[in-house]
Amino acid sequence: MDEGLRNRVVIILAVLTLILFFSTLSSCNSALRQKARSDKEMASRIALEEKVSKFSQESSALEEKAKAKEKEADAVRLELEAVKKALVDEQAANQALKDQAQKASNPKEAGK
Protein backbone atom coordinates (compact mmCIF):
# COMPACT_ATOMS: atom_id res chain seq x y z
CA MET A 1 0.00 0.00 0.00
CA ASP A 2 2.87 2.32 0.72
CA GLU A 3 4.16 1.79 -2.78
CA GLY A 4 0.73 2.48 -4.29
CA LEU A 5 0.58 5.76 -2.41
CA ARG A 6 4.02 6.67 -3.67
CA ASN A 7 2.99 5.92 -7.23
CA ARG A 8 -0.08 8.12 -6.86
CA VAL A 9 1.99 10.96 -5.45
CA VAL A 10 4.51 10.58 -8.28
CA ILE A 11 1.71 10.58 -10.87
CA ILE A 12 0.06 13.62 -9.25
CA LEU A 13 3.42 15.45 -9.15
CA ALA A 14 4.11 14.50 -12.78
CA VAL A 15 0.70 15.80 -13.85
CA LEU A 16 1.21 19.01 -11.87
CA THR A 17 4.66 19.40 -13.39
CA LEU A 18 3.23 18.98 -16.90
CA ILE A 19 0.46 21.48 -16.15
CA LEU A 20 2.97 24.00 -14.82
CA PHE A 21 5.30 23.37 -17.78
CA PHE A 22 2.55 23.99 -20.34
CA SER A 23 1.27 27.05 -18.47
CA THR A 24 4.84 28.41 -18.43
CA LEU A 25 5.14 27.83 -22.19
CA SER A 26 1.79 29.53 -22.74
CA SER A 27 2.83 32.47 -20.58
CA CYS A 28 6.13 32.86 -22.45
CA ASN A 29 4.34 32.72 -25.80
CA SER A 30 1.87 35.35 -24.62
CA ALA A 31 4.71 37.55 -23.35
CA LEU A 32 6.50 37.27 -26.72
CA ARG A 33 3.33 38.30 -28.59
CA GLN A 34 2.81 41.21 -26.19
CA LYS A 35 6.43 42.34 -26.67
CA ALA A 36 6.04 42.15 -30.46
CA ARG A 37 2.88 44.31 -30.28
CA SER A 38 4.64 46.74 -27.97
CA ASP A 39 7.67 46.97 -30.29
CA LYS A 40 5.42 47.52 -33.30
CA GLU A 41 3.48 50.26 -31.48
CA MET A 42 6.71 51.94 -30.38
CA ALA A 43 8.04 51.88 -33.95
CA SER A 44 4.83 53.45 -35.27
CA ARG A 45 4.93 56.12 -32.53
CA ILE A 46 8.51 56.99 -33.38
CA ALA A 47 7.63 57.21 -37.08
CA LEU A 48 4.68 59.49 -36.29
CA GLU A 49 6.83 61.69 -34.03
CA GLU A 50 9.39 62.01 -36.83
CA LYS A 51 6.64 63.03 -39.26
CA VAL A 52 5.25 65.57 -36.79
CA SER A 53 8.73 66.99 -36.27
CA LYS A 54 9.30 67.20 -40.03
CA PHE A 55 5.93 68.90 -40.58
CA SER A 56 6.68 71.30 -37.75
CA GLN A 57 10.01 72.25 -39.31
CA GLU A 58 8.38 72.68 -42.73
CA SER A 59 5.62 74.76 -41.17
CA SER A 60 8.19 77.02 -39.49
CA ALA A 61 10.07 77.42 -42.76
CA LEU A 62 6.85 78.27 -44.61
CA GLU A 63 5.88 80.78 -41.92
CA GLU A 64 9.28 82.45 -42.30
CA LYS A 65 8.84 82.60 -46.07
CA ALA A 66 5.33 84.01 -45.66
CA LYS A 67 6.61 86.71 -43.30
CA ALA A 68 9.38 87.59 -45.76
CA LYS A 69 6.86 87.82 -48.62
CA GLU A 70 4.60 89.93 -46.44
CA LYS A 71 7.45 92.34 -45.71
CA GLU A 72 8.27 92.39 -49.41
CA ALA A 73 4.63 93.16 -50.24
CA ASP A 74 4.58 95.96 -47.66
CA ALA A 75 7.72 97.46 -49.20
CA VAL A 76 6.19 97.26 -52.68
CA ARG A 77 2.96 98.79 -51.35
CA LEU A 78 4.90 101.71 -49.83
CA GLU A 79 6.78 102.15 -53.08
CA LEU A 80 3.51 102.15 -55.01
CA GLU A 81 2.02 104.76 -52.69
CA ALA A 82 5.10 106.94 -53.16
CA VAL A 83 4.84 106.58 -56.94
CA LYS A 84 1.11 107.43 -56.82
CA LYS A 85 1.83 110.52 -54.72
CA ALA A 86 4.57 111.58 -57.13
CA LEU A 87 2.16 111.00 -60.04
CA VAL A 88 -0.53 113.12 -58.38
CA ASP A 89 2.05 115.85 -57.74
CA GLU A 90 3.21 115.66 -61.37
CA GLN A 91 -0.40 115.81 -62.61
CA ALA A 92 -1.04 118.86 -60.44
CA ALA A 93 2.14 120.51 -61.71
CA ASN A 94 1.19 119.66 -65.32
CA GLN A 95 -2.29 121.09 -64.80
CA ALA A 96 -0.80 124.27 -63.35
CA LEU A 97 1.53 124.53 -66.34
CA LYS A 98 -1.39 123.95 -68.73
CA ASP A 99 -3.37 126.67 -66.99
CA GLN A 100 -0.42 129.06 -67.20
CA ALA A 101 0.16 128.17 -70.87
CA GLN A 102 -3.52 128.69 -71.62
CA LYS A 103 -3.50 132.06 -69.86
CA ALA A 104 -0.37 133.04 -71.71
CA SER A 105 -1.83 132.05 -75.10
CA ASN A 106 -5.11 133.86 -74.44
CA PRO A 107 -4.14 137.27 -72.97
CA LYS A 108 -7.64 138.64 -73.58
CA GLU A 109 -9.24 136.12 -71.27
CA ALA A 110 -6.53 136.63 -68.67
CA GLY A 111 -7.39 140.31 -68.44
CA LYS A 112 -11.11 139.77 -67.89
Domain boundaries, the chain: 2-111
In angstroms, the CA 90 to CA 49 distance is: 61
Tell me how far CA of residue 7 lies from CA of 13, 16, 19, 43, in angstroms. 10, 14, 18, 53
How long, in residues, is the chain?
112
Which tens digits make up the pLDDT trace of 15-53? Answer: 999 999 999 999 999 999 999 999 999 999 999 999 999
Cα-based angle 16, 18, 20 (whole degrees, multiple of 5): 70
Quote the pTM value.
0.51
Secondary structure element (H or E) that encloses residue 102, with its range = helix 2-105
